[in-house]
Structure 1
Amino acid sequence: MTRDSTVQAALDYFHGGEFRKTLTRRIAYQTESENPQQAPAIMAYLSDEITPQLESLGFSCQIIANPQTGKNPFLLARRLEADADFTLLTYGHGDVVLGDDANWHLGLSPWELHAEGNRWYGRGTADNKGQHSINLAALAIVLNARGGRLGYNVKLIFEMGEEGGSPGLEQVCQQYRDWLAADLFIASDGPRVSAERPTLFLGSRGVFNFSLQVKLRDGAHHSGNWGGLLSNPGIRLAHAIACLVDANGRIQVPELLPAPLSATIRHHLAGLELGTAPGDPQIAPCWGEPGLSAAEKLYGWNTLETLAFTTGNPAKPAHAIPPSALAHCHMRYVPGSDVDHFAEHIRHHLDRHGFSDVAILGPVNCFKATRIDPDNAWVRWSVASIDRSVGKTAAVLPNFGGGLPNACFLDTFGVPTLWIPHSYPACSQHAPNEHLLADVACEALQMMTGLFWDLTEQVQALACDRHG
């Protein structure tokens, strides 16, 4: 078969209903990693759903226990070809956030795939069952088209705890580093910059979680008797947050900022429009760091957000000065930030501004910020392959705006990391009514089929270069 006929086979597979049938089956597994009662479903997804498909493609598979007690298992798989000296590593996660069944639109269930026009609803359609199902289907199509031989090895690590911060993933990557050793990493997660534009991102921003607390006394006191005499923890905490980030979202702590954007990063982010699709929230043009475009703020800069703030009893407020206040905050940060000292910088800044009564609780760096050089040869190769398959120039993002466990692959295995997302920003990921766009899924299947096909030719070209 030719490249064109193989990409056409991918289209036939999609329009023939086979992809939808597979995704329907996978959505029915209630793989909520935050729900301990779903441990049987989580194991079944690995053993009864993913392993049989991989074994049918010639993979050897093993399900291994999580090195962290009580956490979900992993599936490791590899397909080795005789004389192949190039290896592709890929990744997926089969766990999902809580279904939140009661809050979906009437007639929708998170555990049933429901097609409504271009939208395919179901928990995991976008994150991540739909995405890894596209990639595995594309790999199977190329294997069939090439008579069962790719010319390169394929290895896969599959986790069931990504929605909980990927516990144990780094330990597994370290423990099985030789077994999973590779030359290139390609996987899919997260959204494109827009539904219409194929996207390639090269890493992810990091996530630094922390809480701020003001606890001044043991109980509440009547505001008519004590108001104006007792320090109010809610007011104290509000002003403490305001000294960290101003009224327009600009970080006020210089030590929490990254280095200025390089010319290369600015080049790749130039011209990217965000928030223009139907259903997108309206972007506040004056929010965040002045002088940066929306794309530069999202993909090239650090942000500090307050995620939740409580004082007193919001559900039933009393005429009393509350004893304490608590805010949950986090930072999204790019490579080059001084994350190892974020907590110290916040502490010193609060103290300098008179907020020594504000405690910093549980600072945790969930995901390390990572990216590869946007001028890497593999980036150019993948952009050319995508253009050849669907006639579109992919947006190249130095890093994803959210957090992913990319450091496990980039740092542990030392390979270039290419992420090709198959979702879009308004997919309701992590919310009720999560959905995958059918036309995006179809286009993604074409792209990944072409990519896996082209990798054979690229590996052959690399081998010729090495041997003269």
Structure 2
Amino acid sequence: MTSLNPSTDRPHHPPRVGDRLRATVDASFPRIVEQLSSLVGIQGIAWDAFDARELDRSAEAVADLIRGVGFDDVRILRIDNDGTPGGPAVVARRAAAEGQPTVLLYAHHDVQPPGDPALWESEPFVATERNGRLYGRGAADDKAGIMAHVGAVAAITEVLGETFGVGVTLFIEGEEEAGSPTFRSFLETYREDLRADVIVVADSSNWKVGVPALTTSLRGLVDGTIEVQVLDHAVHSGMFGGPVLDAPTLLARLIATLHDDAGDVAIAGLHGGDHASVDYDEDDFRADASVLDGVRLAGTGSIASRLWHKPALSVIGMDIPSVALSSNTLIPRARAKFSLRLAPGQDPGAAMDAVRAHVEAHAPFGARVTFTPGETGSPFLTDTTEPASRLALSALEEAWGVRPVEAGMGGSIPFIADLTELFPSAQILITGVEDPDSRAHSANESLHLDEFRKAVLAEAILLAGINDGGLDRD
């Protein structure tokens, strides 16, 4: 039905839902940023070396925010991991109206440690706005994900009122940055509380400022340690050096076998492909990754395929004497930790076996090599023809005004495999609030505020589409 505009006597059409949501998000955005800034001020770090009371305070603050947008069923839950309490998770539920689906909105409230404070241009736990970005630990990863959910639910509730019948469950984890040690057990314990038709994981990145992305693939992950031993104990390098090579040197030789001359991973049994549909310009990549001038990029194939569809191996830590504590001795043993990203479709167990076989076959100079497997996580690949994916892509386009990218992500979110296994009928959407310059996990982590506003709007539009029966349409 239309009404007459008394000033023009022309038919007046009610604003579209998307336009009303945009106006609502714009009006509430200063408050959303203020609430995000308060969250950034809480040092909730789920590592044993940090104050666990701050993590509890973070969970309480998130629970209060969720209650503030109309949820009555809000609980802070945790389970034990071999007798050690897991991080506090916030679970809030609003039941679906009859015939409506349920959406689970995931994010995490714990953050990475701040690292060296000298590298920060402002205090890591004081949200600071500069040049359109909000700086602070967790501002992007992933407290902005929490506020994207809270802001979207507030907007859709205000605009649609009682006609918004979609069930909404908020699951805000409290130990993601510590590797989600109790995540699987938590899902199994609270499976019925978390069951949903669509799961939105707000913990990824957009393509670049001005261009959104739906993350459609993730690499898997295996890690572990490689130890090389050549002596029973340290000996004087002047008296015994020459006939015996020290363990750090032999470990370096072993590490060098993990890549070929082009920089591709040289471990037999790993697979990958060169079929990314997106062109990632080399100059853009070098700028985004802060690659120094003159450094040659590693690997073959398109840059996007190297990031999303091929394995990537890094040495992320070594146990050898520091320069400050070095002495003229032959070091008897040295150890390195590796992190191997897996192409979609790769079995993590087979990948771990392949790394073990490689390092044992390439023991340099007959050194004793000990391989210790670590964590594993499966890759992920979504079907973008599913209704939820189509709704999400449409919502991103409406919020940004440009066509979104269907992007892979070079990183891994191992718990996605648990969600896929325990909720096989759910459609999983991986969205993000970050951009290539967000520097998550690094000093000067930041959030582009205008992109964040669009992320809140896009999620609200997605919820409106689901409410309008979008999951039932061919």
Q: Is the shorter-chain TM-score for this pair beyond 0.5, marking a shared fold?
A: yes
What's the counterpart of residue 392 of structure 1? 402
Deviation per CA, 1:407-450, whole angstroms, max 9, x where unpaired? 12222111121111111122121122111111211222222222
Q: Name the SS of the counterpart of 1:89 in structure 2.
A: strand
Corresponding residue to 1:327 among 310, 332, 336 = 336
The reply on whether 1:368 has 2:368 as its aligned counterpart is: no
Q: Secondary structure at the match of 2:468?
A: helix
Contact persistence 1:195–1:423 (CA under 8 A)? no
Kindly indicate whether residue 447 of structure 2 is the aligned counterpart of residue 436 of structure 1: yes
What is the Cα deviation at residue 310 of structure 1?
Answer: 4.4
State the one-letter code of the partner of 1:273. D
Task: Specify which of 36, 44, 53 is matched with residue 31 of structure 1.
Answer: 44
RMSD of aligned alpha carbons:
2.5
Q: 2:93 aligns with which of 75, 78, 87?
A: 78
Q: How far 1:386 sits from its partner (Å)?
A: 1.5
Give the aligned residue type for 1:346. V
CA distance in 1, matches of 2:320, 2:420: 42
Match of 2:129 in 1: 115
CA 1:317–1:424 in structure 2 vs 1: closer, same or farther (change >3 Å)? same
The counterpart of 2:418, out of the listed 400, 408, 414, is 408
Q: Single out whichever of 294-303 and 218-227 deviates more from structure 2.
A: 218-227
1:296 aligns to what?
305
Question: Following the alignment from structure 2 to structure 1, what is the Cα–Cα distance between the partners of residues 219 and 64?
Answer: 31
Matched, 1:282 2:291: yes
- Counterpart Cα distance in 2 of 1:367 and 1:131: 22
1:8 correspondence with 2:23? yes
Contact kept in structure 1, 2:219 and 2:308, CA below 8 Å: yes
Q: Is the CA contact 2:43–2:54 (under 8 Å) kept in the aligned structure 1? A: yes
Change in 2 beyond 3 A, CA 1:381/1:81? closer
5+ residue gaps in structure 2? Answer: 1-14
**Contact residue 212 and residue 400 of structure 2 kept, 8 A:** no
Q: Share of identical aligned residues, percent?
A: 22
* 2:221–2:342 contact (8 Å) kept in structure 1: yes
Q: What SS does structure 2 have at the residue aligned with 1:131?
A: helix
Local SS of the residue matching 1:406:
helix
Structure 1, unaligned stretches of length 5 or more?
Answer: none
Structure 2 CA distance for partners of 1:373 and 1:357, relative to 1, 3 Å: farther
- Cα deviations across residues 241-279 of structure 1 (Å, max 9, x unaligned)? 122223442111221x22545xxxx3x533233661756
Residue type of the alignment partner of 1:333:
L
Cα displacement string for residues 286-323 of structure 1 (whole angstroms, at most 9, x for unaligned residues)? 64442x11111111111111123343442243333211
Letter in structure 1 aligned against 2:278: A
In structure 2, what residue type is equivalent to 1:417? Answer: I
Q: Is the 8 A contact 1:214 1:237 kept in 2?
A: yes
Q: 2:277 maps to what in 1? A: 269
Amino acid at match of 2:85: G
Question: SS at 2:225's partner residue?
Answer: strand
Partner of residue 271, structure 2:
258
- Report how many residues are paired: 453
Matched-pair contact (CA < 8 Å) for 1:215–1:233 = yes
Name the counterpart of 1:19: 32
Separation in structure 2 between the aligned mates of residue 180 and residue 136 of structure 1, nearest angstrom? 17
2:251 aligns with 237
Q: How does 1:309-320 map to 2 (within 5 A)?
A: 309-320=318-329
How many angstroms apart in 2 are the aligned matches of 1:89 and 1:105?
Answer: 35
The two structures have a TM-score, normalised by structure 2, of: 0.88
1:370 CA displacement: 1.7
Output one character per residue of 1:219-262: Cα deviation in whole Å (capped at 9) or x when no partner: 3323222121223212211121122223442111221x22545x
The DSSP-based 3-state class of the residue aligned with 2:469 is: helix
Matched, 1:454 2:465: yes
Alignment of 1:327-366 (within 5 A): 327-355=336-364, 357-366=367-376
Structure 1: distance between partners of 2:359 and 2:50: 42
Conserved? CA contact 2:47–2:178, under 8 Å: yes
Query: Quick one: which amino acid aligns to residue 280 of structure 2?
Result: L
Name the TM-score, length of structure 1 as normaliser: 0.89
